[in-house]
């Protein structure tokens, strides 16, 4: 529940509230508003190690304690995040600088402290709220008194609330929190597993808000709204509004609970005994207006719009507002079940929903940068990726707000490879924390329409005891979305089989792999799979690697610090073998980077296309795929679709090509062509034009097939022509045209007459080895291509839109052209940028238009310049003012 921040007219008293500050200038002693119905967030902290702050909690939390020598840190700041913000280390993102952080600094507790002033009106109650746990455990002190200790403040996710009315003073106050050392193998915390180098503090400290909430005699908690659609009809929706109404006083009280949703009002009188809590429900049975006619239905962005509703409630006592609550929600209904073949299929508003998503990685130091998160989610939507999976790192509230607004689905749940799945270690305390974690997270996110479901385990099966704990917690939270036993092909006693699979791969596989229904191929729901290394462009590599680091990239047997800390994923190994065998061994690191973009593009495109191709297979359909992974918690060389600095390279654009909403594609296994439609409208009168070219530019085939595309389905459009005389490396261009002959989708493949083959008998958990390789070395000797190109820019509010027009000239193909936007000629790349397309290939006489949209301020006052490069054209700069 998100508490209202605007005071109502009937609330008396000053309404000065804390806000979350991104900077480090710690406010001296902010005033805490304790007017009824208000919530104030601690804006920042002072931080100190217990090696220096050796006093006891009663002393440190005393209002007169001097913390002026302590470090100022943001409101949400782990210990290491605070030290980084205070420039205690060289750039921890660069090269191996993270090794310079002394892990021993985090073997002792650290203190957070904040002084503030307050005036508490008579008859009001003040509650201290922890919006998440303290990693790993915490002591909470207020004005010299211990509020809670490490026996209850445990774990990353449980929310806590304490009545501190008697502890608040009129005038000076202070709060202090002692965070204990973190060990994800012992407590239910956060662990980055093999995703990246690990944070040396193991995320010790605070990563969510600490707040003070004030109310009169009656407070409102846990506002939730559920929606019920009479599927398949969407012409009405029943709303159920529930809120917990609590009497915080020691005497009986009567309160009027009143609320509105749009123009629908509702109210109930509630009598409460001293300290009593009741759940008040509003639904069509007692409020007919809560049966909406022609509701504004919320959809994933690939299927429709994202309208939101707002529910606002207040509790009054004697005509005076005692507390308020509000939440946004969307009208939608989500179910899931296992279909033929055993895969789990999600259904949104009665429509089968093919999940094509990516695994989200939080910032390595758990810092919250809302604009950075929003920039990432905008890249996700621009790529047409429809889902994000959170494994054990549920983000802060802003993340879900953004997902709601953009229509991106979120599949959340617990993590693997830490205390969360060490079920043999679950004692009474850990069982309690597990239940508290599930209930807290469910209550926090349940009103968000973007939520798809909750995975109560990742790699293992949940035993009966823990399954019951989780299910009971979700029931207490009124959770009404799918709950799934595991992200792997496991079962739990009550939930049954997950309908998920986790058969790999996590490292290189060629495009054809994804079409075979063995292992991680396109059948069922693959909860985390991907082809491993994803190499950024050279500009990006130079931001986090030394010259020596970059030169070492061509040594596939060398350990790379910006790969995984594990032995399995710490070297390029057979990914490099495949790159050399298929494209030819790079002579330079620049050639290595260039060829890596080709490999990343083609296999990422194939992964997403294969799962779409088999979506309409009634016998064993593909129902979902989560690319492992979406983004970087720290600069990396593997497992991402865009990099840490939000640069988009071959990995991103291969996926973006595959994910277009009305799309023509090629299947590597049977050479068939398909048209994929992820929207909810049929599209008839289409045609597919397929043209084959030899590497020297000779056209070998050119055919057109009529096709009608069905809504939310895939249809076949014949096979790829098989003319004689194809060069070993050749091209296939697919054009999807509407009834007017206009090209509405375009897809270019570079193919080989020699097939990639796989040895499934020797498959391991993270890969299936290749026994033979496609021969794409003909790309190394392409004749020079020539193009004409120009660029112009226009202002669009706070953004600039740059349009690049490229026309093929001469007689040869212009292959894999990349446009990048620069801050002036030769300047650094502008990031982030939403490119409509990139890494494009065109033939003589073809004209392609690319657009780039970006914040004008990101130019830093420089004139925009487009740098155009490619595999067989001369690099050039295009003024784009």
371, containing H or E segment:
helix 370-382
Q: Rounded to an integer, what distance in angstroms lies between the CA atom of residue 525 and that of residue 506?
A: 16
DSSP characters over 372-399: HHHHHHHHHHHTT--EEEESS-PPPHHH
Residue 65 main-chain phi, psi, to 5 deg: -65, 140
Is residue 86 within 8 Å of residue 45, measured between CB atoms?
no
743, containing H or E segment:
strand 743-752
Q: Which is it for strands 160-163 and 125-130: parallel, antiparallel or unpaired?
A: antiparallel
Catalytic residue among 528, 540, 745, 756: 528
CA distances in angstroms from 326 to 208, 219, 220, 313, 711, listed in the order given: 20, 13, 10, 6, 37
Question: Which residues sit opposite 268 in a β-bridge?
Answer: 257
- Write out the two tokens for 257: 């609970």
Q: Rounded to an integer, what distance in angstroms lies between the CA atom of residue 555 and that of residue 576?
A: 9
Strand ranges (DSSP E) for 330-432? 334-338, 344-348, 351-353, 355-360, 387-390, 409-413
Q: Rounded to an integer, what distance in angstroms lies between the CA atom of residue 732 and that of residue 734?
A: 7
For residue 9, what is the DSSP state?
A: T
Strand ranges (DSSP E) for 283-319? 291-293, 309-317
Strand ranges (DSSP E) for 42-159? 44-49, 71-74, 110-119, 125-130, 138-142, 145-148
Q: Using N-to-C axis directions, what is the helix angle for 650-658 and 589-613, rounded to 10°?
A: 20
Q: Rounded to an integer, what distance in angstroms lies between the CA atom of residue 728 and that of residue 721?
A: 15
Q: Which residues contact 548 (CB under 8 A, 6 or more apart)?
A: none
CA-based nearest residue to 627, from 649, 645, 646, 606 = 606
Q: What is the 3-state secondary structure (H, E, C) of 483-519?
A: EECCCCCCEECCCEECCEECCCCCCCCCHHHHHCCCC
Q: Rounded to an integer, what distance in angstroms lies between the CA atom of residue 90 and that of residue 101?
A: 9
Place of tokens 């749009």: 262
DSSP characters over 179-198: EPP--TTTSS----TTSSSP
Is residue 815 within 8 Å of residue 808, measured between CB atoms?
no
Q: Which residues contact 735 (CB under 8 A, 6 or more apart)?
A: 664, 688, 689, 690, 691, 743, 745, 746
CA-based nearest residue to 856, from 798, 783, 769, 773 = 798
How many CA within 13 A on the CB side of residue 155? Answer: 26
> Is 459 tagged catalytic?
yes
Burial class (CB in 10 A: 0-12, 13-18, 19+), 98: buried
Alpha-carbon dihedral sign for residues 515, 517, 518, 523: positive
Q: Given this model, what pLDDT does residue 129 score?
A: 98
Q: Rounded to an integer, what distance in angstroms lies between the CA atom of residue 303 and that of residue 711?
A: 10
**Can you tell me whether residue 610 is helix, strand or coil?**
helix
Q: Which residues contact 113 (CB under 8 A, 6 or more apart)?
A: 45, 46, 48, 60, 61, 65, 67, 70, 174, 175, 176, 177
Q: How many helices (H) and strands (E) does the chain have?
A: 11, 49
Hey, what domains does the chain have and what are their CATH numbers? 31-213 (2.60.120.260), 218-329 (2.60.40.10), 334-656 (3.20.20.80), 662-748+775-781 (2.60.40.10), 786-879 (2.60.40.10)
**Can you tell me whether residue 857 is helix, strand or coil?**
helix
Q: Given this model, what pLDDT does residue 31 score?
A: 78
Place of tokens 């022609």: 294
CA distances in angstroms from 214 to 114, 439, 624, listed in the order given: 18, 23, 45
pLDDT tens digits along 152-172: 999 999 999 999 999 999 999
Residue 789 main-chain phi, psi, to 5 deg: -150, 145
How many CA within 13 A on the CB side of residue 574? Answer: 16
Catalytic residue among 67, 395, 459, 537: 459
> Is 528 tagged catalytic?
yes
Q: Rounded to an integer, what distance in angstroms lies between the CA atom of residue 119 and that of residue 190?
A: 37
Q: Rounded to an integer, what distance in angstroms lies between the CA atom of residue 877 and that of residue 862?
A: 15
Q: Is 118 left (phi over 0), alpha (psi -120 to 50) or beta?
A: beta
CA distances in angstroms from 377 to 368, 385, 635, 677, listed in the order given: 14, 10, 18, 22
CA distances in angstroms from 355 to 182, 345, 389, 514, 524, listed in the order given: 35, 8, 10, 16, 11
Q: Rounded to an integer, what distance in angstroms lies between the CA atom of residue 664 and that of residue 659?
A: 10
Q: Given this model, what pLDDT does residue 35 score?
A: 72
pLDDT, averaged per 10 consecutive residues of the chain (881 residues), comes to 32 28 50 79 97 98 97 98 98 98 98 95 94 95 98 97 96 97 97 96 98 97 98 98 98 98 97 98 98 98 98 97 97 98 97 98 97 98 98 95 98 97 97 98 98 98 97 98 98 98 98 96 98 98 98 98 96 98 98 98 98 96 98 98 98 98 98 97 97 97 97 97 98 98 98 98 96 98 97 98 97 97 97 98 97 98 98 97 89
How would you list the strands of the sheet with 39-41, edge to edge? Answer: 39-41, 210-215, 125-130, 160-163
CA distances in angstroms from 148 to 44, 116, 182, listed in the order given: 21, 20, 18
Q: Rounded to an integer, what distance in angstroms lies between the CA atom of residue 51 and that of residue 203?
A: 18
**Can you tell me whether residue 543 is helix, strand or coil?**
helix
How many CA within 13 A on the CB side of residue 547? Answer: 0
Q: Rounded to an integer, what distance in angstroms lies between the CA atom of residue 468 and that of residue 634?
A: 36
Count CB atoms within 10 A of the CB of residue 578: 24
CA-based nearest residue to 343, from 619, 68, 553, 744 = 619
Q: Rounded to an integer, what distance in angstroms lies between the CA atom of residue 788 and that of residue 768?
A: 43
């Amino acid at each position: 529940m998100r508490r209202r921040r605007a005071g109502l007219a009937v609330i008396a008293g000053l309404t000065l509230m804390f806000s979350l500050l991104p900077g480090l200038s710690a406010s001296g002693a902010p005033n805490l508003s304790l007017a009824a119905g208000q919530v104030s967030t601690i804006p920042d902290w002072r931080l100190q190690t217990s090696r220096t702050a050796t006093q006891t909690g009663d002393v440190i939390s005393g209002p007169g304690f001097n913390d002026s020598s302590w470090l100022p840190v943001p409101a949400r700041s782990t210990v290491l995040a605070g030290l980084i913000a205070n420039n205690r280390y060289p750039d921890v993102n660069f090269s191996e600088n993270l090794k310079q952080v002394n892990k021993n600094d985090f073997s002792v507790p650290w203190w957070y402290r904040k002084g503030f002033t307050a005036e508490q009106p008579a008859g009001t109650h003040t509650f201290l709220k922890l919006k998440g746990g303290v990693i790993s455990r915490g002591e909470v002190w207020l004005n010299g008194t211990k509020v809670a200790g490490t026996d209850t403040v445990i774990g990353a996710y449980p929310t806590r609330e304490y009545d501190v009315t008697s502890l608040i003073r009129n005038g000076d106050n202070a709060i202090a929190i002692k965070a204990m050392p973190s060990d994800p193998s012992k407590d239910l915390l956060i662990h980055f597993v093999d995703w990246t180098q690990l944070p040396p503090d193991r995320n010790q400290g605070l990563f969510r808000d600490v707040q003070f909430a004030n109310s009169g005699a009656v407070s409102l908690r846990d506002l939730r709204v559920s929606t019920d659609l009479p599927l398949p009809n969407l012409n009405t929706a029943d709303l159920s509004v529930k809120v917990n109404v609590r009497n915080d006083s020691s005497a009986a009280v009567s309160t009027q609970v009143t609320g509105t949703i749009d123009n629908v009002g509702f109210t109930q009188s509630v009598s409460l005994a001293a300290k009593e809590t009741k759940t008040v429900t509003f639904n069509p049975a007692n409020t007919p207006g809560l049966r909406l006619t022609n509701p504004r239905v919320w959809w994933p962005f690939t299927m429709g719009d994202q309208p939101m509703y707002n529910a606002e409630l207040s509790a009054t006592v004697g005509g005076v507002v005692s507390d308020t609550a509000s939440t946004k929600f969307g009208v939608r209904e989500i179910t899931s079940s296992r279909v033929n073949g055993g895969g789990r299929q999600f259904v949104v508003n009665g429509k089968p929903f093919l999940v094509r998503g990516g695994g989200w990685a939080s910032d390595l130091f758990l810092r919250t940068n809302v604009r950075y998160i929003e920039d990432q989610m905008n890249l996700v939507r621009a790529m047409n990726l429809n889902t994000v999976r959170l494994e054990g790192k549920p983000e802060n509230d802003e993340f879900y707000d953004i997902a709601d607004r953009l229509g991106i689905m979120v599949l959340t749940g617990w993590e693997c490879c830490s205390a969360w799945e060490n079920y043999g270690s679950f004692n009474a305390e850990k069982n309690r924390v597990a239940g508290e974690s599930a209930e807290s997270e469910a209550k926090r996110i349940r009103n968000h329409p973007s939520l798809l479901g909750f995975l109560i385990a990742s790699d293992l099966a949940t035993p009966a005891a823990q399954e019951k704990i989780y299910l009971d917690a979700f029931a207490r939270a009124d959770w009404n979305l799918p709950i799934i036993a595991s992200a792997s092909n496991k079962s739990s006693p009550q939930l049954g089989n997950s309908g998920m699979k986790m058969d790999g791969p996590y490292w290189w596989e060629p495009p054809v792999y994804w079409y075979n229904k063995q292992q991680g191929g396109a059948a069922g729901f693959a909860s985390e799979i991907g082809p491993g290394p994803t190499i950024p462009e050279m500009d990006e590599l130079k931001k986090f690697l030394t010259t020596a680091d970059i030169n070492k990239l061509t040594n596939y047997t060398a350990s790379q610090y910006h790969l995984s800390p594990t032995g399995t994923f710490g070297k390029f190994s057979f990914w490099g073998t495949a790159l050399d065998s298929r494209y030819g061994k790079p002579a330079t690191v620049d050639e290595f980077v260039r060829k890596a973009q080709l490999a990343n593009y083609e296999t990422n495109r194939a992964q997403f296309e294969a799962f779409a191709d088999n979506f309409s297979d009634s016998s064993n359909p593909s129902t979902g795929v989560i690319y492992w992974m979406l983004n970087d918690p720290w600069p990396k060389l593997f497992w991402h679709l865009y990099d840490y600095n939000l640069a988009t390279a071959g990995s991103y654009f291969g996926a973006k090509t595959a994910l277009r909403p009305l799309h023509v594609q090629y299947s590597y296994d049977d050479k068939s062509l398909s048209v994929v439609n992820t929207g909810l409208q049929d599209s008839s009168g289409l045609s597919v034009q397929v043209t084959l070219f030899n590497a020297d530019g000779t056209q070998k085939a050119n055919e057109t097939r009529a096709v009608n595309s069905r809504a939310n389905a895939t249809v076949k459009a014949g096979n790829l022509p098989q003319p004689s005389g194809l060069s070993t490396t050749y091209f296939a261009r697919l054009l999807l045209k509407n009834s007017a002959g206009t090209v509405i989708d375009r897809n270019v493949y570079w193919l080989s007459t020699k097939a990639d083959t796989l040895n499934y008998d020797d498959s391991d958990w993270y890969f299936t080895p290749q026994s033979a390789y496609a021969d794409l070395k003909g790309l190394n000797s392409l004749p020079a291509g020539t193009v004409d190109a120009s660029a112009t820019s226009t202002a669009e509010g706070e953004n600039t839109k740059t349009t690049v027009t490229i026309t093929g000239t001469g007689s040869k193909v212009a292959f894999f052209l990349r446009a990048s936007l620069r801050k002036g000629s030769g300047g650094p790349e502008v990031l982030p940028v939403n490119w409509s397309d990139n890494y494009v290939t065109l033939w003589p006489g073809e004209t392609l238009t690319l657009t780039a949209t970006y914040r004008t301020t990101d130019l830093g006052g420089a004139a925009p310049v487009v740098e155009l490069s490619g595999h067989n054209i001369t690099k050039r700069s295009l003024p784009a003012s």
